[in-house]
Amino acid sequence: MDKLRRLYYLAKELIDLGFKGSLFRITYEILNRSGARRLLQPVKSRNKVSCAAYPGRDAMSLRRFRRDKKPFFITEPAELAKGIKKLSRIPQEEIIQEAVRAEAGQIKCFSRWHADYGNPVNWHLNPVRIVSWPANEHWSRVPAYEKQCGDCKLTWEINRFPHLFTWLRAYALTGDSRWVKAWTTQLKEWEDANPYRAGLNWSSGQELAIRSLSWIAGLYLFVEDESFREEDFQRLLRLLNLHGRHIYANINYARLAVHNNHLIGEALALYLLGGLFPWMRGAGKWKRRGRRLLEKDCLRQFYRDGGYCQSSHNYHRLALHYYLWACRAGECLGEPFDGEVYRAVKKSLHYLLAQINLPDGRLPNWGANDGALLCPWTACDYSDFRPVLTAASYLTTGKRLFGDGPWDEELLWLWGPDALNKPVQGYDYQRLACFPESGLYCLRQSAGDFAVFRCGSLRDRFGQADQLHTDIWWRGLNMARDGGSYLYNDAPPYHRHFMGSGSHNTVTVDGRDQMLLLRKFKWLGRVQAGNVSINDGNGATAAAGEHYGYRRLPGKVLHRRRVSSMGGGVYVVVDYLTTKTPVEHRYDLHWLLGPWPYEVFEDQPWRRVAQQTPAGGYDLRICTLSGDFERFKEADCSVVKGLDGHRPRGWESRYYGRRQAVASAIASCLTDKDIYFLSIFSPAEIKQSIIIEGKVLEARFNDYKWSLKL
């Protein structure tokens, strides 16, 4: 039976990939596992690699490059220094301190926490497990070491050179050659420790792409410094050439088997390497292919409503950053990208703005979140989207989006100091913003008071099992939240938890996910959703919809939810679960709340969770009713915080590799009847009177009265 099940899952996966994708993936795996890849792309030591520039002619020298270099958007250090000093709230001392720590191998990982990679750096180290990946194995064999070496992203993080951006900022502030020497020293160490095609750091095209982009930024800022020597320049050219060759040779994996932000990053790297270093062997074909992908294949990842195929705000930001680099590079080279690229950026801008928490620039922690931030060159928190949105606005309208603030530093690096003086256009928020292709609906009361409702068929293979999830924000605080991701390649119970339905604000049936998680990132049976209805009138807005992920269970369970924004910080959520035939199921309504102190009260027929937040008290009331509107006596409600074990609960991860304990409230019922869950979120200071009469919920909040037909 297990063999038959595995064959069935394999067949389903191949159907999802399609004929062309399946053929490529099968061939790809055969080449890797048979060892043929090692023969086709053998490991080479540095003295056996030919990276000649200007084949048959004089090699490119540092002096010649300084004279003839292609234009790029990184401006002169003196101009950057003037711009940084104009910006408000830029912690100059912190930048220098962070640069010093990075010099000693203490790297800020995922824009949040520090890890010690050693001095000199161990480029293969997992700093959490304190174990190193094999340095001399062919890249195609390295994934087999995951069990003993842990999460590859913890090793890849330093190899992306995020600390180089700190050195760039420190250099712009001080003009001190110390930061140039820190980078060139690490370049030499990296080359010595990473033979061509050997080790983890050659195993992912996107990692090569991000590293190349970082190095290009370093080259253009440091190139005129007297401590940047010919030897350093030739080493950098050699490494960039090898990165271009490797990406070009293997980009079909991202194009045919993955087709997500990896493809955009790799296409961008090819375009920049070919455009900025045209004398390199192969540069012409790199540039042509990179640009063609960016203007055609990659654009298909963006939906018409402005959403992104990976069902993730973080990956959407990464894709936008890639395109910001591409557009700016194209403009500098005098070859602007097609208008469709700019239109995709503009649609993405409006899509993300509709869901932003204006007080701090955060969005709901929706979808996979791996800590990626291509441009860590502002003082803003990693979760703050204002830098990328400001840059996207400036690219498409020539105007800034927000008032003066640290988010403007991204404009400075991409456009120079003149951009800081441009006018602010602002943004008008809508009470109801609908994105049906992406499956997100935002019901907004004010800049920091809104709800986001998730209901839409999963269009691509990415995403989490989060249908009908609802985020709720009040006074700029995330009162009901998405758990995040935590770690992709370590601690399997936590990965499954954060990916699954149980960590989201929705209802699970018999403890199951809405889809079947076959492997770490592979869902089978993409959940379908629909029957969406929208209402905006009489002082309230509402969105409703249903999903069909549990129709595979006996009785064919259907889950429908309605989210109503009633004003004054009040939100009402009604869940209705029904079966075609009476079959007993366990239904669990889950709400992931905040990290603040809480108390639980029983106010018949309600259970009330009272949270004490920095903005005041905020309550969640839950009531469980049968389809005949009778209260379930056997209904149960539990609240826990930070529960570990095989089935973790009560955790949030906003930063990759870090988690914090938050309150998790679950209302449960075992029944063969149809069932309603009623949830009311409201400020504690509001005087309330709530009555259920038949199919009508009547409530009075202070002097405001409303009724809701269930």
Q: Is residue 67 part of a domain?
A: no
The DSSP code sequence of 194-240 is S-BTBSGGGS-HHHHHHHHHHHHHHHHHHTTSTTS-HHHHHHHHHHH
Residues 676 and 568 in one domain: yes
Is 467:455 a contact under the CB 8 Å cutoff?
yes
Residues 12 and 121 in one domain: no
Q: Is residue 691 part of a domain?
A: yes
Give residue 501's domain range: 432-709
Residue with tokens 């691509």: 460
Residues 122 and 176 in one domain: yes
pLDDT for the residue numbered 706: 67
Q: What is the pLDDT of residues 392-437, one digit of tens each?
A: 999 999 999 999 999 999 999 999 999 999 999 988 888 999 999 9
Total tally of structural domains belonging to the chain? 3
Q: What is the pLDDT of residues 213-269, one digit of tens each?
A: 999 999 999 999 999 999 999 999 999 999 999 999 999 999 998 889 999 999 999
Residues 552 and 628 in one domain: yes
Q: What is the pLDDT of residues 3-44, one digit of tens each?
A: 565 666 667 666 666 777 788 888 988 999 999 999 999 999
Residues 26 and 160 in one domain: no
Q: Is residue 374 part of a domain?
A: no
What's the rounded Cα separation, in Å, for the pair 452 and 287? Answer: 40
Tally helices (H) and strands (E) across the chain.
Answer: 18, 28
* DSSP assignment letter at 175: -
Exposed / middle / buried, residue 143 (Cβ in 10 Å: 0-12, 13-18, 19+): middle
Q: What is the pLDDT of residues 578-608, one digit of tens each?
A: 999 999 999 999 999 999 999 999 888 889 9
Residues 535 and 437 in one domain: yes
Q: Is residue 55 part of a domain?
A: no
Residue that finishes a domain, picked among 178, 203, 228: 203
Residues 28 and 83 in one domain: no
Residues 591 and 685 in one domain: yes
Q: Is residue 509 part of a domain?
A: yes
Residues 9 and 145 in one domain: no
Residue 626 belongs to domain with CATH number: 2.70.98.70
Using DSSP's 3-state secondary structure scheme, residue 9 falls into: helix
**Residue 156: both structure tokens together:** 């890849």
Residue that finishes a domain, picked among 155, 183, 203: 203
Is 583:565 a contact under the CB 8 Å cutoff?
no
Q: Is residue 436 part of a domain?
A: yes
pTM for the predicted model, two decimal places: 0.95
Residues 683 and 603 in one domain: yes
Residue that finishes a domain, picked among 188, 203, 218: 203
Q: Is residue 299 part of a domain?
A: no
Q: Does pLDDT of 1 surpass 50? A: no
Q: Does pLDDT of 466 surpass 80? A: yes
Residues 697 and 585 in one domain: yes
Is 72:329 a contact under the CB 8 Å cutoff?
yes
Residues 12 and 119 in one domain: no
Contacts of 470 (CB under 8 A, 6+ apart): 451, 452, 453, 454, 480, 505, 506, 561, 563, 573
Q: Is residue 581 part of a domain?
A: yes
In DSSP terms, which residues pair with 670 in a beta bridge? 586
